Amino acid sequence: MEEFDLATLDPATGNVKAVFLPNSQFTLLPWDYLHPNHAGYNAMGQAIDIAPFAPRHQCDRDSH
Q: How confident is the model at residue 43 (pLDDT cuts 50, 70, 90)?
A: very high
d(CA 15, CA 8): 8
Q: Could you tell me the residue ranges of all domains in the chain?
A: 4-62
Asked if pLDDT for residue 28 goes beyond 60, the answer is: no
User: DSSP letters along the chain, please?
Assistant: ---HHHHHB-TTTSSBPGGGS--HHHH-----SSS--HHHHHHHHHTS--GGGSPPPHHHHHT-
Question: What is the per-residue pLDDT for 35?
Answer: 80
Mean pLDDT confidence for 28-42: 77
User: What's the pTM?
Assistant: 0.65
